[in-house]
Amino acid sequence: MNFKKAQAALESLIIIGFIVLLSIPIIFYFFLYSGEKLAQVADFQIESILGQIVDSATEVWYQGEGSSKIITLYIPPGITNIYFGGDNQISPTKEVIIYYESYGQQKQFIKYSPAFIKNSPLTRSLPNEAFVNYRPPNSDSKYLPSGLIILKLSYQRAPPLSFPDDYILIERLNK
């Protein structure tokens, strides 16, 4: 009689062990695949941010002198820097650059605008600091705080004999 109970218990343990053994790779692949999907979602968000900035700059550029536009963007976690007008902040260029880090991998996203873009020097604490590179005081984080930022894009006419003649000035309205 005891042999039948022992046999049933052993069969149950074998079945449970087999189920656990099959579950481990499934759980492993689930976590591995979900990390990739999160990285893809962040990439799409960054591409969307670039599109919104460049499309808005283009819109203001074509509307001409006196035009401006306010946009709200969501900054996802992992962005280390955003440059308007490229890395060179002395003279405006036509590019927007976002630096992003995901799972230890550095990525750079660039999008070009038909308009020259420049960020406001009044909102930077250092001459070569990126425009939205605002971190809370005493923060040791290398990432920008995630969340909403509000940007104002306005058409600017440059002083005579300067290059370029006209450009889009981007100012951050919230801190």
User: Sign of dihedral through CA atoms 127, 130, 135, 140?
Assistant: negative
* 3-state per-residue secondary structure call for the chain: CHHHHHHHHHHHHHHHHHHHHHHHHHHHHHHHHHHHHHHHHHHHHHHHHHHHHHHHHHHHHHHCCCCEEEEEEEECCCEEEEEECCCCCCCCEEEEEEEEEECCEEEEEEEEEEEEEEECHHHCCCCCCCCCCCCCCCCCCCCCCCEEEEEEEEEEECCCCCCCCEEEEEEECCC
Highest mean predicted confidence (pLDDT) among 45-54, 75-84, 111-120, 144-153 = 45-54
Question: Over the stretch 36-82, which tens digit does the pLDDT of each residue have?
Answer: 788 888 889 999 999 999 999 999 999 988 999 999 998 888 888 88
pLDDT, residue 129, reads 46
Report the C-alpha gap between 20 and 124 in whole angstroms.
56
- Highest mean pLDDT of the ranges 22-26, 98-102, 119-123, 146-150: 22-26
Q: What angle do CA 52, 152, 82 make, to 5 degrees?
A: 60
Min mean pLDDT across 63-67, 109-113, 118-122 is at: 118-122
Q: Distances from the Cα of 5 to the Cαs of 13, 18, 136, in angstroms? A: 12, 20, 66
Domain boundaries, given as residue ranges, for the chain: 2-172
Q: How confident is the model at residue 122 (pLDDT cuts 50, 70, 90)?
A: very low
